[in-house]
Amino acid sequence: MMQVAFLCFFAISMSSIVSSTTNISSCPLDLNYVQTIPWNTSVCQTSLPKTTTIITPTQHCCQALLSLFGIGLALHLKQTSLFQLPDLPTASACIINFQDKLSSLSLPPDIAPTCFGSPERFHTGPQICAGIETKQDWINKLGSSTQIDSSCKSDLSDPSSCDACVKAGFKVQAKLTSIDGNVSHSTDCFYFTILYAGGIVNEYGPENITTASCIFGLPISTKLSSKGKENTSLVFILIGVGVVVVVLIISCVLIWFFVWDKRRKGLGEKELEESNLKLHLRPNTGSIWFKLEELERATDNFSERNLIGRGGFGVVYKGTLSDGTLVAVKKMIESDFEGKSEFCNEVEIISNLRHRNLVPLRGCCVSDGDDDKEFGKQRYLVYDYMPNGNLKDHLFSSEISSTDPQAILITDWAWMLVKSGQMEKVLDASLLKDEDPNNPNPKMIMERFVLVGILCAHVMVALRPTIPDALKMLEGDVEVPSIPDRPLPLGHQSFCSSENTFSIPPYLSEPQGNSGDLLR
């Protein structure tokens, strides 16, 4: 009965205090967070342990309420830079307001006064924890940076980060207690450390769920915690699935790109080769790049009946193009060309050559042949077909022996004129014109050339000079020796001689016979 009477007396006293202070003081704390923060109210709603006559809240409930009220004090510190409350009436008013918020959550109507006891614990003063009352006092005592400034600033959702913050808080508490010098104030210094870490240091603020849970030790609702864990798990699952999907997409794209690029390069090379080797007229040379199919149609698939010759480098077939043109198709068996490009370049050069003794090149063909991996294995050259005999007949006329007894070799004719002192008759009149001022004596030079030529064509090989000696004579480095006599053919009456003179018959004063005889 005495305990019940004491409880009633305490309640009446608190009511009288509140009623007497409502007209004087009001609570500066914004306690609306009590109804918004998802803290675990079940710790204060479970069946309370009963003594003989009084119901008291559990220690876990009181600790949760103290942590919840500390969030309001931390917000007050963040906004005003003041630790706790300035006086007892203000503290009492805040406890009453706090109880009203708890009552709205269906908690017992006297649970806050019962847990907190005297409001004096929330009143600050110079005699509490090294005389710290403001944020500036804290900085003056500990400096602008402490362990909690580095450990409690960021997100504390990670257990390792939260553990580091708590350890830093104990170190700062020990330092404050050492500065205060009174061990009995260690609890107050610990509360001050929590308020400073949650209200000033942490960038998310004391109302943040992770900050309230780690720094203030506020129990969070199990539903929210499990929901958060489920959400976290779902997030990780979604992230994992997303990563797998992205990796698969990237892999598929890369595989597709490699296949496409390889195919594109293959098609590009094939198209390039086809475009380079297809039938088209070259503007500068007139040569044509033929397709193998066209040459096969022209030669009846390289039929043996169209075979017209074999050579060291290939086989030649007679063919008829679609326009009726007769051609000779040379299928090259062996060549010195290392690749298609070298062969095509050589064809380019040959196509530009023009000579009366050269059969014009009509075109060429480069084919895959039997091996697709060896592009350009088979090569073909297409010439104009020569219907009147072979190439040798066109390049070299038939050999006709001279039957004119007056015909002589041009070398004999020149030797006779030189020996008779008529060298100027050997020279063409145009060679004796002296029009170049830098070359005042071309006749002497031409005569030197004639003498060297006669020596090199001497009928007696032993009397012919060597190539180096002949070059020296032509360049004037050495003198040309006298022309040695040469034996005449038996029975040949080409010239008459006397003791001191050498003459030549009149019919030999000019070359006679066919030009072919003179060139032999």
Within a 10 A sphere around the Cβ of 314, how many other Cβ atoms? 18
Within a 10 A sphere around the Cβ of 91, how many other Cβ atoms? 24
Answer whether residue 54 shows pLDDT above 60: no
φ, ψ (nearest 5 deg) of residue 330 = -100, 115
For the stretch 229-252, what's the b/e string if a residue is b when 16 or more beta carbons lie within 10 angstroms of its beta carbon?
eeeeeeeeeeeeeeeeeeeeeeee
Residue 399: per-residue pLDDT: 55
Answer whether residue 467 shows pLDDT above 90: yes
CA dihedral 128, 134, 138, 144 (to 10 degrees): 170
> Which tens digits make up the pLDDT trace of 299-326?
999 998 989 888 777 889 999 998 888 9
Answer whether residue 19 shows pLDDT above 50: no
Comparing CA positions, the residue from 190, 55, 173, 182 lying closest to residue 121 is 190
Cβ burial of 420 (10 Å; 0-12, 13-18, 19+) is middle
Q: What contacts 440, CB < 8 A, 6 or more positions away?
A: 434
pLDDT band at 59 (very low <50, low <70, confident <90, very high): confident
- Residue 361 to residues 249, 311, 370, Cα–Cα distance (Å): 56, 17, 26
Strand (E) or helix (H) holding 288? strand 288-289
- Residue 193 to residues 65, 164, 472, Cα–Cα distance (Å): 18, 14, 113
331 assigned to a ligand binding site: yes
Kindly give the pairing relationship between strand 288-289 and strand 361-367. Answer: parallel
pLDDT band at 437 (very low <50, low <70, confident <90, very high): low
For residues 243-268, average pLDDT: 83
> Which tens digits make up the pLDDT trace of 193-232?
998 998 899 989 888 988 888 988 888 887 655 555 555 6
> Which tens digits make up the pLDDT trace of 321-367?
988 889 989 888 766 666 666 777 777 777 777 776 677 788 888 87
Residue 277: per-residue pLDDT: 46
